[in-house]
A and B are shown apart, each in its own frame.
Chain A
Amino acid sequence: MNSLMYDTYTVFWRELKRYKKSRSGVLIRLIQPAIWIIVIGNTFSGTQPLIQSVGFEGEYIEFMAPGVIILTAIFTSIFGGVNTLWDRRYGFMNKALTSPISRSSIALGKMSAISLISAMQASLIVGIALAIGVSFPNPLMIAPIMAIVVLFSLGFSGISVIVAATAKSQETFWGVINFLGMPLFMLSPALFPLELLPDWLATVAKLNPVTYTVLLVREMMTGVSEGGIPALLSIGIITAFVLVMIGLASYVFTREVNKPF
C-alpha cells in the first residue's frame, strides 16, 4: 500500500512536470470554455425569466457559469489521458512496465495529475467569470468548489485513461472521447435548469454524474438548491462514481497494458 502511494506519486510528479513545461497548452485549452461563458452566456441572457421561475435571482450568465466550470473540468480531464498513447508509442510505458512499480499506480498517478490540472484550468475559468462580472456571493466557497472539481475530474480522467489504454490509435481515442464528452455535458443541467428539462431528458440527466456535480457546484456558488436533490446526496453520488472509476481504470489499464501495443 505504501509503495502503491509512492509509485502513484512518482507518476503524478512526472505528469505534472510535463504539464508545467508545456505551458502553451494552458491558454489554448481556456479558449473554448471562455467562448462558452462569454458567447452562450450572453446569447441566452433573454432566458432570465425562465431561470428565475425556478428560484434563481441572478442573470443567466451567473446560472451557467458553474456549468462552464464543469465543462472545463470534463474536457480537461477526458482529454488528459491521451498521453498514455504517446507513452506507449515512445517507450516511457515500457520503461515503467519493466520497473518494479505496479501497473495500477501508473493509471492512478496519471489520473491524479489530470484531476489537479483540470482544477487549475477550472480555477482560471472562475477568474474569467469574475472578470466579466459574475458575482460570487461567498468567495470562501472557491476552495471547496475546487475540491469538488478535483474529485469529479478524478472520475472523468478514469474514463480517459480507460479509453487511452484500450484504444490502439489516436483516431480511436479521439473518436470515442468526442462521442462521450459532449453528450455527457449536454445531458446535464449545465446550461438549463433540471426542472425545465422535458421528463425523458431529466430522467437521462439523473443517471449522469455530471448532473450532480453541476447541481452541487451551482448550489455552492449561488446558494440556490435545485430539483430537490440535497448536496449530501450529490457528494455521495460523485464519490461513488469516482471510486468506481478508480477501480475500473486500474483494472482495465493493468489488463490492457499487458497486451502488446
Chain B
Amino acid sequence: MYSVETRSLSKTFGAVKAVNDISFAVESGEIFGFLGPNGAGKSTTIMILTTLLKPTSGQALVSRFDVMTHAKQVRQSIGYVQQESTVDEYLSGRENLLLQARLNHIPKDQINKRIDEILELIELTDKQNDSVVTYSGGMRKRLDIAGGLLHHPKVLFLDEPTVGLDIQTRRKIWEYIKKIHKEFNMTIFLTTHYMEEADQLCDRIGIIDHGQIQIIDTPENMKNAMGNEVISLKFESKNPDDFLSQLHKIEYIKKINKDNDKLTIFTSNGTQVIPEIFKISSILEIKIISISLTQPTLDDVFISYTGWEMRDDDAGFNRKREHAKMKRLRA
C-alpha cells in the first residue's frame, strides 16, 4: 500500500515549471528522502502534498486521499514539521503542544496523556513549563517534531529537519526520528540536502532537479551503481611485477594503475579486497607502507545526477523570476 503517490504532478508559476510531471510512490511505513539542490522543486512538491498549494495538473494522493478533492482528510492524516521553527516563542513548551493538540482535534480527554508521552519521548519533560524563548535551537526543533507527531499522523512530513543545527544536535535529532519511526511506524517523508542525513535515515531516496525526478532507489543501490571504489596503496618491493600479476587475480579488481611505488586500484567490494591484498603481500614478503580505501558517497551520487553548478549563479535561470518565485513560495 502506498502512503504518498503522485501521478504526473506538475506545478507552474507563470513560465517557471517548478514541478514538471513527476510520478512516484512511497510505501506505507517507509522513510523516504526527497533530495535536491536549492530551487529543484522540493518545497513546491511538499507544499502540494500538505495541501498548501494546488497542483497545476496531475494528481497527488496522501494516505490514499486526493489532495485536491479531499484536502480535509489529507490534513487529518498528516503531520507537517516545517523547515523554520514554528513554535510560539512566548508560549511554554507545553502550551505549544496544547495548541497543536487542539488544532489537530485530539479528543479532550486524551490531550494531557498524549502531551506527557511525547514530552517524555523528546526528553523535554523538565523544561515543559519554560517559555520557548529560553530553548536552544535543538530543543525547539524537538518541540516542532513533537508537535507534528502528537496526533499520531499516518504520514509525517519533515522539511529539512536538521538544517542549521550543530553536528551533535543533528545526530540526536536523527536518533529521535528513528525512535519515533519505530514507535509509531508511520510513513516519513523528509526533504534534506545533507547526504549523510539521507544515508542514515532513509529506506529510499528520490533525487529531484529542475522539477523532475532524476532517480529513486535505496542509498545502497545508488552508491553501488556509482561503481568503483578506489584503493590507494604504497609499497616497497624488488619484484613489483609478481605482486601486480597476483593482484590481478583477485576477482573484484577491475583495473590497476601503477606509478612507481604507488598503486591505484579500481575495484568493487573494497573492504573484502583489502585483506586479500595483505594475504598476497605477506606471501610475497612485500612491505605495504600505506593503504586507503575510498568509497563513493551519496554526495557523488547527488553530484552525478544534479551536476556541479551552483544554483544561485545558474545563468539559465531568470534571476528576477526566480526571486519572485521564491518570494511566493516563502511561507
B105 touches A260 (CB 8 A): no
Q: Is A198's beta carbon under 8 Å from chain B?
A: no
Residues from 81 to 135 in A contacting B, C-beta threshold 8 Å:
88-101
| Chain B contacts for A93, CB-based, 8 A | 331
Q: Which of A15-23, A188-196, A206-214, A229-237 contacts B (4 or more CB under 8 A)?
A: A15-23
Q: Are A21 and B90 in contact (CB under 8 A)?
A: yes
Asked if A254 is an interface residue, CB under 8 A from chain B, the answer is: no
Contact B90 A90 (CB under 8 A): no
* Interface-central residue, B50, B91, B99, by most chain A CB under 10 Å: B99
| A13→B96 CA distance, assembly (Å) | 11
Residues of A within 8 Å of B52, CB to CB, are: 94, 97-98, 260
The 0/1 profile, CB within 8 Å of A marked 1, for residues 41-52 of chain B is 000000100111
B76 x A100 contact (CB < 8 A) = yes
Residue contact A100 to B51, C-beta cutoff 8 Å = no
| A contact residues, range | 20 to 34
Evaluate contact between A99 and B104: CB separation under 8 angstroms: yes
| B137: min CB distance to chain A, Å | 15
The docked-state distance in angstroms from the alpha carbon of A21 to that of B86 is 17
* B284 interfacial by beta-carbon distance below 8 Å: no
Q: Which B residues between 94 and 150 are near A, CB-CB below 8 angstroms?
A: 95, 99-100, 102-105, 131, 147
Quick check: is A10 within 8 A (CB to CB) of the other chain? yes
Nearest-CB distance from B4 to chain A (Å)? 14
Structural contact, A98 and B51, CB atoms closer than 8 A: yes
Contact of B328 among A13, A90, A99, A260 (CB under 8 A): A260
CB of A261 closer than 8 Å to a CB of B = yes
- Stretch among B77-85, B191-199, B251-259, B291-299 lining the A interface: B77-85
Among candidates A10, A96, A99, A261, residue contacting B330 with C-beta atoms closer than 8 Å: A261
In the complex formed, the residue of B with least CB distance to A21 is: B90
Cβ of A138 within 8 Å of any chain B Cβ, yes or no, is no
Return the chain B residue nearest A3 by Cβ. B105
* A14 lies within 8 A of chain B by Cβ: yes
By CB atoms of chain B within 10 A, which of A6, A7, A95, A258 has the most? A95
Nearest CB of chain B from residue A228's CB, rounded to whole Å: 48
Q: Given A14-B99, A94-B331, are A100 and B86 also a contact pair (CB < 8 Å)?
A: no
The answer to whether the Cβ of B329 comes within 8 Å of any Cβ in the partner chain is yes
Do A94 and B88 have beta carbons less than 8 Å apart? no
Identify the closest chain A residue to B13 (Cβ): A260
What is the CA–CA distance of A99 and B52 in the complex, to the nearest angstrom? 11
What distance in Å separates the Cβ of A20 from its nearest Cβ neighbour in chain B?
A: 8
Q: Which chain A residues lie closer than 8 Å to B147 at the CB level?
A: 95
Assess A90 versus B86: contact at CB under 8 Å? Given A18-B91, A21-B131, A261-B331. Answer: yes
